[in-house]
């Protein structure tokens, strides 16, 4: 029963020699959602997209679009923008639009004019004379003028100035409000936090976490206590399945909790702390926690960051 | 209209909960009048640059709480019938959340229950002086 998902990715794995670039990657993207794939550089975001679209052959795993494998019939309704778009240098902006018009039945000329204006792209300028940011904007323009139902965008806002980054987010939001499904990658947490209703966090080829952004925020808490003297070891907490990580630093104790934090709060309160509070976690905190839970060195770095 | 809604997407508080709180507060303060139309999901999502499904979730919960009503094709409106109770409910929700936050904060810095009660009494005396039973705003 996967047809209500626009995209259902199951167990995608891709190895390059000894390196596993993508390890058992699975996500479900409901129709009409904006799905953010978040990860540091080299986390496997581009590999994931290429494998989903058969642009790279996965060693194992499947990707279903609206319940079926990818077929050319879908190409007219979907678009993929690579993080380094392949555009021709000599031709002009308007030439690229003309080729797109001839290729796509759903080409929208009014929209093309609006987007050129929005991004400040001069129609008669040769592409080689555009800045890197303007080239990215042109690639996005070419994607959006075809009025796709399904957009897969690899780092769509990279290289753009802050105004145009916001313009891109607004475009994504407008498309999703109109019923389109969008999957986009970013290493900028703020963009994902704003525009995406769902997120997957990739780290070193593995999915650390995925879910609805708002529910993750509602779910992830930090119980923070300070003590008169050094924080007690709180060994009992380590066995609590909702506790993902415990950080002790001098008189401070932090327990990173997923799910109901009441038990953990009671447990820590019984240790008679001087102060005790439950802190919300934004997506950046959740990202760092997910990464920290996976490898110790980053855990230390994240603990320092938080301290 | 959309300008009265603000959210902080980078807060740890889910965006849909922030939106619910801001609408309830607006109803409570009369910034949103009974029967007044709310922006569409698309308008509000675009104005705030937040996800449309997130806005839609806030509207669903506000409807469930009886603060707004949505009729297909027409849009979402602040509930007109029983608007007094809707607004009062919204006021008390907002006030309860603020008081809860203040007491939690007091507890977190280690104040004893009696100390907190004394603080609350002082605040009550300030805003509800004995000679004046009316609510200050």
pLDDT in tens, A93-152: 999 999 999 988 889 999 999 999 999 999 999 999 999 889 999 999 999 999 999 999
- What sign results for the dihedral spanned by CA atoms B113, B118, B119, B120? positive
Task: In whole angstroms, give the CA distance from residue A298 to residue A245.
Answer: 13
Residues A100-105: contacts with CB under 8 Å, at least 24 apart: A100/A142, A100/A145, A100/A146, A101/A145, A104/A76, A104/A145, A104/A146, A105/A76
- Contacts with A33 from chain B: Cβ below 8 Å: 51, 53
**A266 in contact with B, Cβ within 8 Å:** no
Cα angle at A105 between A101 and A107, to 5 degrees?
Answer: 45
pLDDT reading at A38 higher than 90: yes
Taking an 8 Å cut-off on Cβ atoms, the answer to whether A277 and B104 are in contact is yes
Q: How many C-alpha atoms does A303 have within 13 Å on its Cβ side?
A: 19
pLDDT reading at A304 higher than 80: no
Of A32, A277, A280, the CB nearest to B12: A280
pLDDT reading at A201 higher than 50: yes
Task: Give Cβ neighbours of residue A130 (< 8 Å, ≥ 6 apart).
Answer: A93, A121, A138
Of A21 and B129, the structure prediction assigns the larger pLDDT to A21
Task: In whole angstroms, give the CA distance from residue A63 to residue A141.
Answer: 26
Whether B74 and A210 have beta carbons less than 8 Å apart is answered as no
Burial of B8 (0-12, 13-18, 19+ CB in 10 A): exposed
Coil, helix or strand at residue A103: helix
**A274 in contact with B, Cβ within 8 Å:** yes
A252-258, strands of its sheet edge to edge: A243-249, A252-258, A220-226, A275-280
Q: In this structure, how many other beta carbons lie within 10 angstroms of the beta carbon of residue B125?
A: 10
**A265 in contact with B, Cβ within 8 Å:** no
Q: What is the mean pLDDT of residues A210-226?
A: 93
Task: In whole angstroms, give the CA distance from residue B30 to residue A104.
Answer: 50
Of B105, B81, B95, nearest to B21 by C-alpha is B95
Whether A193 and A283 have beta carbons less than 8 Å apart is answered as yes
Taking an 8 Å cut-off on Cβ atoms, the answer to whether B11 and A176 are in contact is no
Q: Report chain A's C-alpha Rg in angstroms.
A: 23
Of B40 and A304, the structure prediction assigns the larger pLDDT to B40
Task: In whole angstroms, give the CA distance from residue A264 to residue A202.
Answer: 28
Instruction: Give the gap in angstroms from C-alpha B1 to the nearest C-alpha of chain A.
Output: 19
> For the whole model, what pTM was predicted?
0.86
Taking an 8 Å cut-off on Cβ atoms, the answer to whether B105 and A277 are in contact is yes
**SS3 track for A212-223:** EHHHHHHHEEEE
Task: Give Cβ neighbours of residue B49 (< 8 Å, ≥ 6 apart).
Answer: A166, A169, A170, A173, A194, A195, B9
Taking an 8 Å cut-off on Cβ atoms, the answer to whether B49 and A193 are in contact is no
Coil, helix or strand at residue A166: helix
Question: What is the pLDDT of chain A when averaged over all its residues?
Answer: 89
Find the residue in B nearest to A190 (Cα): B10
Of A109, A135, A101, A110, nearest to A121 by C-alpha is A135
Residue A241: its pLDDT value, please? 86
Residue A127: its pLDDT value, please? 93
- How far are the Cα atoms of A69, A190, A217, A281 from residue A285, in angstroms, in the given order? 36, 12, 10, 5
Task: In whole angstroms, give the CA distance from residue A250 to residue A225.
Answer: 11
Residue B101: its pLDDT value, please? 85
Question: What digits encode the pLDDT tens for the residues B98-136?
Answer: 898 899 888 877 789 999 999 999 999 999 987 655 554
Pairing of strands A252-258, B68-71: unpaired
Cβ pairs bridging A and B (under 8 Å):
81
- Contacts with B109 from chain A: Cβ below 8 Å: 275
What does B7-70 look like in DSSP terms, one character per residue? --TTSSS-HHHHHHHHHHHHHHHTSS-TTPBPPPHHHHHHHHT--HHHHHHHHHHHHHTTSEEE
**In which element (H, E) is residue A186 found?**
strand A181-186
Instruction: Give the gap in angstroms from C-alpha A102 to the nearest C-alpha of chain B.
Output: 31
Of A63, A143, A162, nearest to A103 by C-alpha is A143
Of A79, A84, A68, nearest to A143 by C-alpha is A79
Residues of chain B where predicted confidence (pLDDT) is lower than 50: 136-137
pLDDT reading at A2 higher than 80: no
Describe chain A by its helix, strand, coil percentages, rounded to 5. 40, 30, 30
- Contacts with B9 from chain A: Cβ below 8 Å: 190, 193-194
Q: From the candidates A30, A173, A182, A266, which should be mutated to test the interface with B, based on the most B CB atoms within 10 A?
A: A173
Residue A307: its pLDDT value, please? 33
Q: What is the mean pLDDT of residues A195-223?
A: 94
Find the residue in A nearest to B52 (Cα): A177
Whether B62 and B56 have beta carbons less than 8 Å apart is answered as no
**A275 in contact with B, Cβ within 8 Å:** yes
Question: What digits encode the pLDDT tens for the residues A39-98?
Answer: 988 899 999 999 999 999 999 999 999 999 998 888 888 999 988 777 888 999 999 999
Burial of B14 (0-12, 13-18, 19+ CB in 10 A): buried
Find the residue in A nearest to B45 (Cα): A173
- Contacts with A279 from chain B: Cβ below 8 Å: 12
Bridge partners of residue A252, in order along the sequence? A226, A249
Taking an 8 Å cut-off on Cβ atoms, the answer to whether B10 and A218 are in contact is no
Residue B136: its pLDDT value, please? 47
pLDDT band (50, 70, 90) for residue A298 = very low
Residue A26: what are its φ and ψ, rounded to 5°? -135, 130
């Amino acid at each position: 029963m996967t047809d209500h998902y626009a995209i259902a990715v199951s167990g995608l794995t891709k190895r390059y020699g000894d390196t596993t670039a993508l390890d058992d990657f699975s996500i479900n993207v409901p129709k009409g959602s904006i799905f953010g794939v978040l990860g540091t550089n080299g986390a496997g975001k581009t590999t994931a997209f290429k494998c989903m679209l058969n642009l790279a052959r996965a060693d194992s795993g499947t990707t279903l679009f609206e319940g079926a494998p990818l077929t050319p019939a879908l190409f007219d309704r979907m678009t993929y923008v690579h993080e380094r778009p392949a555009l021709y240098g000599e031709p002009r902006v308007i030439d690229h639009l003309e080729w797109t018009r001839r290729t796509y039945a759903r080409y929208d000329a009014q929209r093309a004019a609006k987007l050129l204006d929005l991004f400040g792209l001069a129609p008669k300028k040769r592409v080689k004379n555009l800045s890197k940011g303007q080239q990215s904007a042109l690639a996005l323009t070419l994607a959006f003028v075809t009025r796709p139902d399904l957009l897969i965008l690899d780092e769509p806002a990279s290289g753009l100035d802050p105004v145009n980054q916001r313009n891109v987010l607004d475009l994504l939001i407008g498309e999703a409000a109109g019923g389109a499904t969008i999957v986009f990658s970013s290493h900028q947490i703020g963009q994902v936090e704003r525009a995406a209703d769902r997120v997957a966090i990739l780290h070193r080829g593995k999915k650390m976490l995925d879910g609805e952004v708002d529910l993750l925020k509602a779910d992830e808490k930090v119980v923070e206590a300070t003590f008169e003297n050094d924080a007690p070891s709180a060994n009992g907490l380590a066995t609590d399945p909702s506790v993902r990580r415990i950080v002790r630093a001098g008189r401070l104790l932090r327990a990173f909790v997923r799910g109901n934090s009441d038990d953990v709060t009671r447990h820590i309160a019984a240790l008679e702390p001087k102060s005790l509070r439950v802190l919300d976690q934004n997506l950046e905190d959740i990202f760092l926690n997910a990464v920290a839970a996976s490898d110790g060195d980053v855990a230390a770095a994240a603990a320092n960051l938080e301290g | 209209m959309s300008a009265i809604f603000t959210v902080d997407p980078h807060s740890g508080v889910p965006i849909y909960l922030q939106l619910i709180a801001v609408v309830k507060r607006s109803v409570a303060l009369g910034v949103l009048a009974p029967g007044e139309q709310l922006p569409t999901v698309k308008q509000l999502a675009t104005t705030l640059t937040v996800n449309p499904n997130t806005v839609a979730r806030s509207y669903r919960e506000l409807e469930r709480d009886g603060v707004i009503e949505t009729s297909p094709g027409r849009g979402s409106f602040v509930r007109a019938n029983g608007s007094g109770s809707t607004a009062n409910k919204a006021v008390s929700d907002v006030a309860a959340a603020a008081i809860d936050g203040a007491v939690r904060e007091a507890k977190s810095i280690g104040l004893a229950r009696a100390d907190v009660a004394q603080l609350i009494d002082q605040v009550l005396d300030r805003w509800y002086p004995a000679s004046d039973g009316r609510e200050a705003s």
